[in-house]
Structure 1
């Protein structure tokens, strides 16, 4: 009888939450405007960033010395490419990078930014991880929203749940001609929010990789920055 009671007690006890400095959803654009080569390039940029010594140093310098990260691609639907992983050591960063290499494209179609933001919020709310900070790292090349809830409505719901949203504005050549801050300004007005929220903008492939690294370091360190961080120069 005593053994049965012990077993029942163990079953009724929730699994202890994992303490971490940052819960981070990397929410990458996989909509129709992103070609397969561009999608793979995005993955490689994040893989390189997660193994970069400066990024890993920023992680080790956090209060807990680790963060938890998941990589999600969004379009009309959303797909988890890499499930939640704890990043603490160089080996952890390498494992995350390796996990990004290989999974097929699962998100496709037109933009559903509002749905993507809520999907990312739900991943944070249901992951049984206790993070000191909770952040969605959204990237995209437009503010089109063909399906699902309005962007600002979804943004407000995410912020109400205590999740910060930062953004990476991927600028097209046309966007630069129209004004380099046009997309970044729209992201600042419509998408980002929460303590210290910011937008990083990028145009070329070389700049994109650097922008991803810079953005991760800012998010991991939690250092206050300007609202729009230009990476075009």
Structure 2
């Protein structure tokens, strides 16, 4: 019996020594930033968006929020998206624990050059974000996908299916609907994008959205959103709409009037002739 116990302990030691058996480093949040770069956004908007993320990621309030977590560190990655499969990684999974770490990721964003691409696939962005979370070398106490976008899904699979896939893995999806009108693709956008995000995109415990109705609001919106995702949702913050909003909220329709989460696909079918795309 003693020989069997010794053999088992030896085997356990060998397994623990294998690189793949190392426990993942725990972090308060594993956060995926999914940033819209569809052609409906103008070069000016893309620049404001890039600079806004860069300024928020190393803002003192964000660094302070990270330090106040149970582990005092988060893991974060960012990619740009447009149509289904149109993905460009901005930076890989990075541990952010100090102001210097935050400066590093901020510089990576500021140095990036967004490339506008066709179509809008929120479903594709969510699916890719789920994949990135599966590949994360960190163990996030919370797993969060942060999706920004200026229009409804019109490419790839239905957004509701992608959302359900993420929620089934206990991933929270938050939204940043960009309700601006400066870009060239306004004909494919909708006036109630905040409602669309509330009904069709965000989900999970504590999920929320931060509508941006003018680009001068963007830097502060990103900063507040990151602080909330790193920390928790306060009781009163008018610019933030929680997923659990009451039916009387202007962002959610009564259950007797279900929102059409295929509105983007239907608009595309009506106007696809403008681009002569099959």
Structure 2 length normalisation: TM-score? 0.73
The alpha carbon displacement at 1:161 in A equals: 0.8
Question: Retained in 1: the 8 A contact 2:16–2:22?
Answer: no
The answer to whether the aligner puts 1:102 opposite 2:103 as a matched pair is no
Matched, 1:169 2:188: no
Matched, 1:27 2:37: no
1:44 CA drift (Å)? 1.1
Aligned to 1:104, the other structure's residue is in SS state: coil
Q: 2:224 aligns with which of 214, 228, 231?
A: 214
Higher Rg of the two aligned structures: 2
Give the equivalent residue in structure 1 for 2:166: 158
- Which position in structure 2 is the counterpart of 1:117? 126
Q: Specify whether residues 181 and 37 from structure 1 end up closer, same or farther in structure 2 by C-alpha distance, changes over 3 A only.
A: closer
Aligned residues: 221
Cross-structure match for 1:186: 196
Check whether the contact 2:35–2:79 (CA below 8 A) recurs between aligned residues: yes
Aligned-residue offset at 1:37? 3.1
In the aligned structure 1, how far is the partner of 2:161 from the partner of 2:169? 13
Distance 1:9 1:159 in 2: 32
Secondary structure of 1:202's aligned partner: coil
Matched, 1:15 2:22: yes
Looking at structure 1, the residues matched to 234 and 201 of structure 2 have their Cα atoms a distance apart, in angstroms, of 18
RMSD, matched Cα: 2.5
Deviations 1:117-142 (A, max 9, x none): 01001100111210100000000011
Cα distance 1:10–1:102, how it changes in 2: closer, same or farther (>3 A)?
A: same
Equivalent residue in structure 2 for 1:46, among 45, 49, 53: 53
CA deviation after TM superposition for structure 1 residue 80, in Å: 1.1
Residue 36 in structure 1 maps to residue 43 in structure 2: yes
CA contact (8 A) 1:202 1:230 kept: no
| Structure 1 residues 227 and 194, CA gap change in structure 2 (3 angstroms) | farther
SS of the aligned residue for 2:224 comes to helix
Q: CA deviation at 1:68?
A: 0.8
Query: Which consecutive residues of structure 2, in runs of 5 or more, have no partner in the other structure?
Result: 1-10, 183-189, 242-278
Equivalence map 1:136-151=2 (5 Å): 136-146=145-155, 148-151=156-159
Moved over 6 A (4+): 5-9
* Aligned-residue offset at 1:107: 6.2
CA spacing shift, 1:189–1:145, aligned 2, 3 Å: same
Contact 2:91-2:108 at 8 Å conserved across structures: yes
